[in-house]
Amino acid sequence: MGAVDVWSQITTERFMQAPWLDTLLRWTGRTDRCPTSPEATIAAMDVADVDVAMLSAWCGPSGWLISNDEVAEILARFPMRFAGLASVDLTDPMGAVREIRRCAASGFVGVRIVPWLWDLPPNDRRYYPVYAACIDAGLPFCTQIGHTGPLCRSEPGRPIPYLDDVLLDFPELRVVGGHVGAPWIEEVLSLARKYPNFYIDTSAYAVHRLPQPLIDFMRSDGRGRVMFGTNWPMLSPSRCLERLEELRLDADARAQFLGAAARRVFRLDQEEGSRQA
């Protein structure tokens, strides 16, 4: 069984023209702003033995950069290769609740909101209807932790006190913090050890650049709590995994990292069964 990439997006023209993308493109060495395609994404996945990529919708204060319906169209065309992560408009709480219910009914496996895009930390009151709807629908909530690549404030991505509050208030909510959480990695790990419903994904990092405390966590009491992600198309799966052996994970820790944890947290085996039926 191949890997699962828990943070990916098939970009639109709207997404690629966002002005905050400039620094991220420079960091990753990209010179074009062309949207990606499902076919190119699958080809990149196959090179690195990635079976499933989770495609994120993106909604922010300026509107939809990648809509839930655009993600759903790709899921319908390639149901065995992609899973969907919905987004919502935080300024419309009841609309957000209804949208989460609609997306859950159509097979989305989680919800993702990026705090720096809204400049709102995750303990802001506008998120709380989203958390309740995620619990009701049985969906994990995915967020970004740590500093930002785009030219936006990093403070909303600080784990403590913001995510600490959320995890205290919603013990039933499965929360996935993406992009590792640097420079606050010790805060991230303290939350992971404190809350069994908090998980970390390594998107936006080639694995050989992961902080050593996180690698130590993956090898020990954190196996099953850290999941592989890319942030495609900013980083490719092959680039992220090319030095995987340097992590020196045993067979179980490696299996958990590459896919077993994601399949469990996002209940992918249930969804794949329904897609095959």
Q: Is the dihedral of CA 6, 107, 102, 131 positive or negative?
A: negative
Predicted local distance difference test score (pLDDT) of residue 256: 98
Residue 220: which of 193, 181, 198 has the closest Cα? 193
Cβ atoms of 90 and 127 within 8 Å: the answer is yes
Residue 36: which of 59, 70, 12 has the closest Cα? 12
Q: For residue 200, what are the CA distances in angstroms to 38, 66, 197, 273?
A: 26, 23, 10, 26
Q: pLDDT category, 34, cuts 50, 70, 90?
A: confident
- What's the CA gap between 49 and 221, in Å, rounded? 26
End-to-end CA distance of the chain: 20
pLDDT digits (tens, 9 = 90+) for 187-238: 999 999 999 999 999 999 999 999 999 999 999 999 999 999 999 999 999 9
Q: Residue 134: is it exposed, middle or buried by C-beta count within 10 angstroms (0-12/13-18/19+)?
A: buried
Q: What predicted TM-score, i.e. pTM, was given to this entire model?
A: 0.95
Q: pLDDT category, 259, cuts 50, 70, 90?
A: very high
What is the mean predicted confidence (pLDDT) over 68-92?
98
- Which secondary-structure segment (H or E) carries 149? none
Q: Residue 9: pLDDT above 90?
A: yes
Residue 108 is which amino acid? F
Phi, psi dihedral angles at 115 (to 5 degrees): -60, -40
Domains along the chain with CATH numbers: 3-276 (3.20.20.140)
- What's the CA gap between 161 and 107, in Å, rounded? 33
